Amino acid sequence: YFMAVAFLSAQRIKDSSSQVGACIVNQENKIVGIVYKGMPSGCDDDLLPWSRSADNKLDTKYPYVCHAELNAIMNKNSADVKGCTMYVALFPCNECAKLIIQAGIKDVICLSDKYHDTLEMTASRQLLNLAVVWVMSKHRVKVCICLILHRKIKPYQNTKYIWKNLSNQTIYSPH
């Protein structure tokens, strides 16, 4: 359900090439933040570029856009998000990993890890792994990568997930 909320909020994204939504849920299973990727508030997104490539990097979206994770943490409607779970479509990049760790988010559940081999994701995994080790003795942070087996099935319906920890060990596999 919460992943569905993350996906639904992502439909509002202007950038149709990568619609990433995020949803933060607290320990009572209440949603404390829903947000999608977008330009910083107050910045007219009609005046900023949305392209993925250009001769000048300043003419692409990348220097400007706020990832869904950042927006979700910043726009939370509770005092803090410590111990919360974040549902996000894509595995978080290194910048978002920093925010997630600093915000005290306990679990990250994502559906896709399609940029696994990029520098950002590799750094992100290192950070999240370290945070896991560091917090292990107290709260045991668990970061799960949820991979969709059958990509044609809607991600949040009748989906068979394999849950893996960051060391790529399967921790849950449905029959």
Catalytic residues: 69
Per-residue interface string for the shown chain with Zn ion, residues 10-49, x marking contact by CB under 5 A: ----------------------------------------
Residues in 81-120 at the binding interface with Zn ion, rule: CB under 5 A = 93, 96
Report in angstroms how near the CB of residue 91 gets to Zn ion at its nearest: 9
The residue (of 26 and 124) whose beta carbon lies closer to Zn ion is 124
SS3 readout for the chain: CHHHHHHHHHCCCCCCCCCCEEEEECCCCCEEEEEECECCCCCCCCCCCCCCCCCCHHHCCCCCCECHHHHHHHCCCCCCCCCCEEEEEECCCHHHHHHHHHHCCCEEEEEECCCCCCHHHHHHHHHHHHHHHHHHCCCCCEEEEEEECCCCCCCCCCCCEEEECCCCCEEECCC
The residue (of 31 and 69) whose beta carbon lies closer to Zn ion is 69
Question: Binding of Zn ion at residue 67 (CB under 5 A)?
Answer: yes
Report in angstroms how near the CB of residue 93 gets to Zn ion at its nearest: 3
Question: Binding of Zn ion at residue 65 (CB under 5 A)?
Answer: no
The residue (of 64 and 162) whose beta carbon lies closer to Zn ion is 64
Distance CA(88)–CA(108), nearest Å, equals 7
The residue (of 50 and 162) whose beta carbon lies closer to Zn ion is 50
Number of residues that bind Zn ion (CB under 5 A): 3
Where does this chain bind Zn ion (CB under 5 A)? 67, 93, 96
